[in-house]
Amino acid sequence: MPNQNGSVYGLTILSPIINDERATPSHDLQIRNYLATVPTGEGSPFALAPGTHLARLVVMDDVIYVGSPSIEEHLHSKYLVFESNCDGDLDSYLLGLATAVPQHLDAIWSHCVGYPGAANPQAFAAYMKACQIETTFYFAAVNDKSVPETLRALQTQRAVSDFIARHQGMNAALLQAEFAQFATRLKSEPLPASGSMGPLRGLKTGGRNE
């Protein structure tokens, strides 16, 4: 099943964009204009909804002519490409999007043919799957970690680096005590927000200078 690689899912969706000559600006441009305003950091709809590692939205205007002697041909519709690298089960991912960020989804996909709206998550999921193209080959550098596990690990890495630096040469008993405190603090630390530039260096790691 090439859509899946380990526990990550490679979702590829091509939604035909409404071709209405009376629309000004045209529907594809309306999508572009809206996407230009959507936050890409921790305010992103893909940060607010669960399960997205990386995702992109692309207005595909046409196929590309590569030059003679190949044939020049054109699409009748423009397509909105949604490429997502997400956790696990497709249905729960799509339902999660529809539940968490329906306004964004509607603002984007309402310019696509046959879009039912996200108010009914089941209908939204069914629509997305009708536009899905099976991925032929899918590569993932890390395929066994969820988004929360990844954010946690990045936070841990930074904290561990600081801890080691601050405890060089410390005697064993004190080190053990400080480590126990550190492990407890780290565990209770909230997860850094998805889409953010990572944890601030605020976590107290003990040792010298603190």
Partner 1 sequence: MSKLNETDIQGFVLRGYNLPFARYLFLHFEDSARARALVGRLLPVITTGQRWDHGKPQSTANIAFTHRGLAAFDLPEATLLSFPVEFLQGMKDRAAILGDTGINAPEHWDKLWLDNHVHAWLGINGQSPEAVDARCSQIQALMQETGGAMQLAWQDAAAIMDDGKPTSREHFGYTDGFGNPDYLGVERSTQPGQGKLMPDGTWAPLATGELLLGYADEAGELPVAPVPHILACNGTFMVYRKLHQNLATFRAYLEERSAQYGGGMEKLAAKFIGRWRDGTPVELSPDWPDPAIVQDPNRNTNFTYGADPQGTRCPIGAHVRRVHPRDAFGFNGRLIDRRRITRRGLPYGRPVPEGEPASDAEDRGIVFMALNASLSRQFEFVQQQWIEYGNDAHQGNDKDMLIGNHRGHGKFVVQGDLSATNPPFLCTHLPNFVELRGGDYFFLPSITALGMIAMGLVDPR
Partner 2 sequence: MSNINGKVYAMNAITPMKPWKTWVVRAIFFTLGHVKSLQQDLINLSFIEFARWVVVPRQRFPYLGNGQVKEDLKYDYLLFFSNFNGTWNQYIDAFSAVLSNGLNLVWRWSEKFPGSVPVTLFKEYIARVQFDTDYYFTAYPHATANDLKSAHIVQASLDSLVQRAPNCTPEEFRSAYLNFVIQVQAHLGDTGEAPVIF
Q: Which stretch binds partner 2 (CB under 8 A): 2-10, 94-102, 118-126, 202-210?
A: 2-10
Contacts with 47 (C-beta within 8 Å, 6 or more apart), sequence order: 41, 193, 194, 195, 196
Quick one: tokens of 41? 């950091």
CB of 38 to partner 2, least distance (A): 6
- Interface residue with partner 1 among 33, 99, 120, 161 (CB under 8 A) is 161
Residues 71-100 that bind partner 2 (CB under 8 A): 71, 73, 75-77, 79, 81, 83, 85
The entry of partner 1, partner 2, none near residue 169 (CB within 5 to 8 angstroms by kind) is: partner 1
Q: Which residues partner with 195 through β-bridges?
A: none
d(CA 126, CA 102): 15
208 is a contact residue toward partner 2 (CB under 8 A): no
Distance CA 72, CA 54 (A): 33
202 is a contact residue toward partner 1 (CB under 8 A): no
Nearer to partner 1, 130 or 165 (CB): 165
Q: How many other CB atoms are there within 10 angstroms of residue 13's CB atom?
A: 21
Shortest Å distance, C-beta 56 to partner 1 = 21
Beta bridge partners of 9: 4, 86
Q: 187 exposed, middle or buried (CB, 10 Å; 0-12, 13-18, 19+)?
A: exposed
C-alpha span between 185 and 189 (Å, rounded):
6
Of residues 123-142, those binding partner 1 (CB under 8 A): none
Nearest distance from C-beta of residue 67 to partner 2, angstroms:
6
CB of 162 to partner 1, least distance (A): 9
Interface pick for partner 2 out of 101, 102, 152, 207 (rule CB under 8 A): 152
Q: Under rule CB under 8 A, which residues in 68-87 are in contact with partner 1?
A: none
Among 6, 23, 25, 114, which residue interacts with partner 2 (rule: CB under 8 A)?
114
When asked if residue 38 is in the footprint of partner 2 (CB under 8 A), the reply is yes
Kindly report the number of other CB atoms within 10 A of residue 195's CB atom.
Answer: 17
* Partners of 61 in the β-ladder: none
- Pick from 149, 166, 158: which is nearest to 209 by CA? 166
Residue 201 C-beta: closest distance to partner 1, Å: 10
Provide the binding-site residues for partner 1, judged by CB under 8 A.
161, 164-165, 168-169
